[in-house]
Structure 1
Amino acid sequence: MSQNEIAADMTPLTELSFSVSGYVSRPPAEVYEAVADPAQLSRYFTTGGARGRLDAGSEVSWDFADFPGRFPVTVVEAAAPERIVIEWAAAPGSNDSGSTRTVFEFAPVDDGARTLVTITESSWSATSGGSKAAFGNCMGWTGMLAALKAWVEHGINLREGFYK
């Protein structure tokens, strides 16, 4: 490694982000729909229910019975069956912008028989509070991705009783 590469590695972090991804053995349109449709999302992820379809420009709400509290989610972009971008209020002390952005990407694999789902979240400050919130959400989105796969492929709700 050159001195320039070492110096570049030592640049202070100003924002934290993460991506989680996995393959779902269903076509992108079916997997996209399992995220966008509140009835399906409520069956495997939002244990207290989802209200409103994830359509661009809409504000929906998600509730988690195992983490009480309904909260609003703004849909910034929805381009079926490729991408959904959402934002919601950030945890206090976790970033300067006041909101968190999450991007869902649905890429066809094996001639569209399978889907690579990538969930990327950003906007976290490189602080103790920001890292705690980012790591917690990374765990949550990883769990959501596993639950999405189990639901879409097998009709199984992995989240039920998982956190509480």
Structure 2
Amino acid sequence: MKLESNATIQIQKPIEVVFESIVNPEKMTKYFISESSGRLESGKEVIWKFPEFEDKFPTSEIKIVNNNSISFVWDPETVVIITLEELPDDNTIVRVNENGKELNDDNLKWALENSGGWANFLACLKAYLEYGILLRKGAFDFMRK
């Protein structure tokens, strides 16, 4: 049995704006990561850095379908798939699915933590796009001590 981590949210912005905010590092560094080696593009590899961790995270096997989906690998055992669904009135549903790990105690802990992590990603994206609020700023400083 394979485990999955899932999170979903509705954002009151057009699909093009939401998509660009996920693939563009200038926007993504405002709400999720602190550094990126480049834009998410099909066939490319980028390196992400998070403010609360010393490690850098290679993001590979990137597949982009404009204004529809983004997928990548940053854990060799999993694939992340972000899908966008356009709604009336310039609203967008964003779904994140990360899957692939075998069921065991360690991976069950991973699934629970990652579901919370992806929910945080979506909340930060929504706050940034709809209200210009940077939810991650200072939120994880305690992890660096």
Work out whether the TM-score is over 0.5.
Answer: yes
Question: Partners in 2 of 1:148 and 1:58 — Cα distance?
Answer: 23
* Aligned match for 1:57, one of 36, 43, 49: 43
Q: Which amino acid letter does the alignment assign opposite residue 121 of structure 1?
A: E
Question: Partners in 1 of 2:67 and 2:56 — Cα distance?
Answer: 27
Question: Partners in 1 of 2:69 and 2:55 — Cα distance?
Answer: 26
| Greater RCO, 1 or 2 (C-alpha within 8 Å, sep 6+) | 2
1:139 deviates by 1.1
Question: Partners in 1 of 2:77 and 2:3 — Cα distance?
Answer: 13
Paired position in structure 2 for 1:108: 86
Matched, 1:70 2:48: no
**In angstroms, what is the RMSD of aligned CA positions?**
1.2
Question: Partners in 2 of 1:138 and 1:18 — Cα distance?
Answer: 5
Paired position in structure 2 for 1:85: 71
Question: Partners in 2 of 1:50 and 1:135 — Cα distance?
Answer: 26
1:18 deviates by 2.6
Paired position in structure 2 for 1:20: 7
* Aligned match for 2:22, one of 29, 35, 48: 35
1:75 deviates by 4.0
1:104 deviates by 0.5
Whether the 8 Å CA contact 1:50–1:60 is kept in 2: the answer is yes
Any stretches of 5+ residues in structure 2 without a counterpart? none
The structure having more radius of gyration, on CA atoms, is 1
- TM-score, with length taken from structure 2: 0.92
Q: Which amino acid letter does the alignment assign opposite residue 76 of structure 1?
A: I
- TM-score, with length taken from structure 1: 0.82
> Would you say how many aligned residue pairs link Structure 1 and Structure 2?
141
Whether the 8 Å CA contact 2:40–2:62 is kept in 1: the answer is no
Question: Partners in 2 of 1:100 and 1:67 — Cα distance?
Answer: 20
Q: Work out the percentage of aligned pairs sharing the same amino acid.
A: 29
Whether the 8 Å CA contact 1:54–1:75 is kept in 2: the answer is no
1:99 deviates by 2.6
Q: Which amino acid letter does the alignment assign opposite residue 99 of structure 1?
A: E
Q: 1:123 to 1:34 in 2, by over 3 A?
A: same
SS in structure 2 of the partner of residue 68 of structure 1: coil
Moved over 2 A (4+): none
1:67 deviates by 2.3
Q: Which amino acid letter does the alignment assign opposite residue 64 of structure 2?
A: A
